[in-house]
Amino acid sequence: MLSKLFKPRLKLVCFDLDNTLYDFALAEAETEVYLAELISKRFKKPAKNILSKFIEIKKKHLHNDIDPNNYSRALWISELFRDLKIKLNSLDSKEYEGKYWEYLNPRVKIFPETMNVLENLRKKYKIACLSDSDGEKQIKIERINALGLNKYFDYMITTDDTGKNKPSAENYEYLLKISGLKPASA
């Protein structure tokens, strides 16, 4: 009887992506080593130093920076080259960023129960993903598509859409706006 009086009004479930629905951390760590080795080979600098500096730059921006543009791997790579006193132009940074994502994306693996959970939720609810930027929204969309997750999402939001990284309220307000839902339903 009580269950009829207090029917859940939930209509939308929202997920983060990286390290929630798939293992991003392992692929990211492998890619950072790959990038360091690639740069080391070309510029004859110790890969260990390159990797340490890259991780330092990443930590400076990641989860400390509200601007999604500062999550760009091209930016991090440019800063890396500058700090290592390697002369490169912005095209070189973009080239290395491309290599970074080409190496990383195939290594991202969906967690074992992800598809099952999404399949079951899809039967009753709208599903959204809200994730921090990778520098450009298209990078995240390509990963979602490659993993076959795109078919589950009614709404795909990256912080590029609002210009503010999580946990900024603007992201959730944007999701409510495009879904037409009230906070109590999401």
Residue 44 CA to residue 37 CA, distance in Å, equals 10
For residue 13, the SS3 value is strand
pTM of the entire predicted model: 0.88
Buried b (16+ CB within 10 A) or exposed e, 11-32: ebebbebbeebbbbeebbeebb
Question: pLDDT tens, 1-51?
Answer: 445 555 658 999 999 999 999 999 999 999 999 999 999 999 999 999 999
